Amino acid sequence: MRLIDTHTHLYLPDFEADGDSGRKAVERAIDAGVAHMIFPNVDNATVEPMERLADIYPDNISVAMGLHPTEIGDGWRDRLAEILEHADCGRPYVAIGEVGIDLYWDKSYEEAQMQAFELQALKAVNKGLPLIIHCRDGLSQALEVLQGVKGVKGVFHSFGGTTEDVDAIRCVGDFYFGINGIVTFKNSKLKDTLPAIGIDRTVIETDSPYLAPVPKRGKRNESSYLPYIAEFIAQASGMSVDNVAELTSKNATELFSLNLQRQY
C-alpha cells in the first residue's frame, strides 16, 4: 500500500520539539506507507522552513505556494506580492495553496480575503496549476470568487460539508475533495457525504499537525497517521484499503501532475 498525503505541514514549529525540524515525522510517514506528501505554504515566514525540509526529501515531498486566508490582514497586499514572486521563482510548485476563505475567527477581512483569493486563483490558472482551497465558514464567498475565474481547478481541502455543499461546488467546477481525520470523528456526518463525492474525486490528507484521526484524536497529527483515514474510508465505502490507496493516489497524481515513478 502506497499513500499520498495531499495536505500536511510537517515543517511547522509544532514539530520542533522533536529536535529535527520535521525529519523524523517525514521518515515515520514513509515507513507507514506514505510515499509522497504535499506541503502547502501558510505565510511569508513558512516558506524557508517548508522548502528546506522538502529539499532534504525531494522524492517524497512536493510543495505549494500561497498565502493562507487567516494571514490576510493589514498590509496583506505586500505580503501577497512576495508570495506571488516566490510562485514565479522557478521551483516546481505543484499547486497554489493554501488559499481561500476563513471567516470562522474573524469576519472583518472578508473582502480582502476574497480579493487575495481571486489574485491567487488567477495566478494558478496562469501557471496551469491547481488550487489548494481552504474554506471555513465561507463557502458562498469562495464560490463567488471561483465563478469569476475561468479554467480554475483544484481541491477543497479538509472538506467536512454536506451533499448540498458538494452539489454547490460542482455547479462551479469539477473539484476534488480532501478528506482527512474529520471523517473518523464520532459526531461527523462526513461519511454520509462520501457517496456524493465519489472515490474518483477523493484525495486523502492529514492536515498535520491538526485534526488527528481516531484513534489518535487529541494528539499532534502527522502524516504517518494517514493509513487510519484510508482504512476508515475503505470501511465506510465497502472497498479494500488497497483499492482506496490506489484510487486516491491516482487522483492526487493526476490533480497535482506528480512524477512518482520512483515510489510506485
How many Å separate Cα 44 from the centre of its chain? 18
Handedness of CA 73, 78, 80, 86 (dihedral sign): negative
DSSP state of 94: S
Within the chain, residue ranges assigned H as helices are 23-31, 47-56, 76-87, 110-127, 139-147, 163-170, 190-197, 226-237, 241-255
The per-residue pLDDT for 27 is: 97
User: Phi-psi bin for 98: left (phi > 0), alpha (psi -120 to 50), beta?
Assistant: beta
Place of cell 506528501: 37
Distance (Å, whole) CA 129 – CA 132: 10
Question: What pTM did the predictor assign?
Answer: 0.97
Cell of 233: 474510508
Q: Tens digit of pLDDT per residue, the chain (264 long)?
A: 899 999 999 999 999 888 888 999 999 999 999 999 999 999 999 999 999 999 999 999 999 999 999 999 999 999 999 999 999 987 899 999 999 999 999 999 999 999 999 999 999 999 999 999 999 999 999 999 999 999 999 999 999 999 999 999 999 999 999 999 999 999 999 999 999 999 999 999 999 999 999 999 999 999 999 999 999 999 999 999 999 999 999 999 999 999 885 444
The per-residue pLDDT for 16 is: 86
Which sequence spans correspond to the domains of the chain?
3-255
The answer to whether 50 and 11 have CB atoms below 8 angstroms apart is yes
| Topology classification of domain 3-255 | TIM Barrel (3.20.20)
